[in-house]
Structures are given as structure tokens and as C-alpha cells.
Amino acid sequence: MPVELDKTDYKILRLLQQDGRTGNAEIAKRVNVSAATCHRRTQRLFEDGYIQNVRAQIAPDKVDRGALVMVGVVLDRSTPESFGAFEAACRALPFILDCHLVAGDFDYFLKIRVRDMADFNHLHGDQLIALPGVRQTRTFFVMKEVVDNAPLAF
């Protein structure tokens, strides 16, 4: 089925990535196809999983999540069980935006959003170092968000 997308499909993807509320008629106009065709194309992009979902981006500071923190984590042991337990725990923590297993000086990298530094300190003491198998964490407070979650270029 993945008959390799054509130029029109890519344009639709880019438009929807830029503004997911763009109407079908509008998209059709911009990519130069009829509304009917555009509608079917877009539908297919959803059905075939090219578009995972459409999400509103909430302004973090407007909902008291203005502080961003990156955390490097090292685990006690490098066993599959240890990794599994840590990952499961991470998935359950709502303030963790990213959790990635990496190669290098750390085992995991976390991206966390909280209200402020004080909030993070509580959370760090209460929840992060208490995560299963954590030996050490290294915290990098974000002082300036130069680019955050930029749209994917392709």
C-alpha cells in the first residue's frame, strides 16, 4: 500500500503539520487538486499512519508549566529487567515529556516540564531518584528555549 507518497501528499502533510485545522477546501486550493481528491488523499494519510494524530499545542507558561529541565540518568545495572522497570515507571509520570534510552555517558535522557525550579526540586527528591534502579542523575535546567518541538522537516 505504501506506494511512496507523491509531491501532493507531502504538501498536504506539511500543511497539516503547520496547521492541523486547515479545512479540506483550503488544502485542496493550496495543493491544486479538487476537494474530492484532496479529501481522499488526506483520509489515506491518516489511515496509513502517516499522520499519527493532530494535537493542540498548549502554551506551557499559561498552564503553569513554564520550567523545562533536561535530566541525564544512570542506572545501577544494565539488565533488561532494570531497563524495563525504569521505562514503565517513566511512562507513568505525567511530567515526563521525553524519555529516551541513549548510547553514551548516560543510560536515559529525560525532558521534563514543571512549574518552576522549586517544583522540580521536590519532584527530583520525591520521584526521580526514587525511580527503579536509578544510581545517579544529572540535571540541566533550561535557561532559554531557543527552539522547542519544531515541526519535522522532510
Partner DNA sequence: ATCAAAGTGAAAGAATATTGCATGCCTGTA
Partner DNA sequence: TACAGGCATGCAATATTCTTTCACTTTGAT
Where does this chain bind a copy of itself (CB under 8 A)?
2, 13, 16-21, 49-60, 62-65, 68, 70, 87, 90-91, 94-106, 108-109, 111, 113, 138-154
CA 86/CA 98 separation, integer angstroms = 13
Between 36 and 63, name the residue whose CB sits nearer to DNA. 36
Backbone φ and ψ of 44, nearest 5°:
-65, -40
> Residue with C-alpha cell 486550493?
29
When binding is defined by CB under 7 A, the residue of 17, 24, 82, 139 that contacts DNA is 24
Interaction of residue 25 with DNA, rule CB under 7 A = yes
The set of cell numbers assigned to 112 is 521534563
**Euclidean distance between CA atoms 102 and 106, whole angstroms:** 7
Cβ proximity to DNA, 22 vs 137, nearer residue: 22
Q: Which is nearer to DNA, 41 or 124 (CB)?
A: 41
Shortest reach from residue 25's CB to DNA, in Å = 3
Q: Which of residues 81-100 bind DNA (CB under 7 A)?
A: none
36 by DSSP, 3-state: which?
helix
Binds 18, which of DNA, a copy of itself, none (CB < 5 to 8 A, cut-off by type)? a copy of itself
From a copy of itself, DNA, none, interface partner of 63 (C-beta below 5 to 8 A by class): a copy of itself
Q: What is the phi/psi pair of residue 109, to 5°?
A: -120, 130
In whole angstroms, how far apart are CA 1 and each of 11, 69, 123? 19, 41, 46
Nearer CB in complex with DNA: 11/111: 11
Separation of alpha carbons 68 and 118, rounded Å: 12
